[in-house]
Amino acid sequence: MDEFKKLKKIIDELRKDLYDLIEQKSDLLDPEVVFASQLLDSALDEYYKILEKKKDK
């Protein structure tokens, strides 16, 4: 599995975890929710960097 596919799978898992956590906490400002959101943001940033590199080729 290439880096792009691995990252996409991680993003899907992080997104699901975030949704589940939001349902549990019912507070978007809960520190755990914020942390999960930041992890997802970082993974998405990396994903788009890879997309840009592929575009440039």
pLDDT confidence of residue 56: 79
- 2 or 28, which is more confident: 28
Nearest C-alpha neighbor of 11 from the set 31, 39, 32, 30: 39
Q: Structure pTM? A: 0.86
pLDDT digits (tens, 9 = 90+) for 4-54: 889 999 999 999 999 999 999 989 999 999 999 999 999 999 999 988 888
Q: Which two tokens stand for residue 9?
A: 């799978």
Give CA separation, 1 vs 6, 32, 35, 56, in Å: 6, 30, 27, 22
- 6 or 1, which is more confident: 6
pLDDT confidence of residue 9: 96
Place of tokens 């993003």: 11
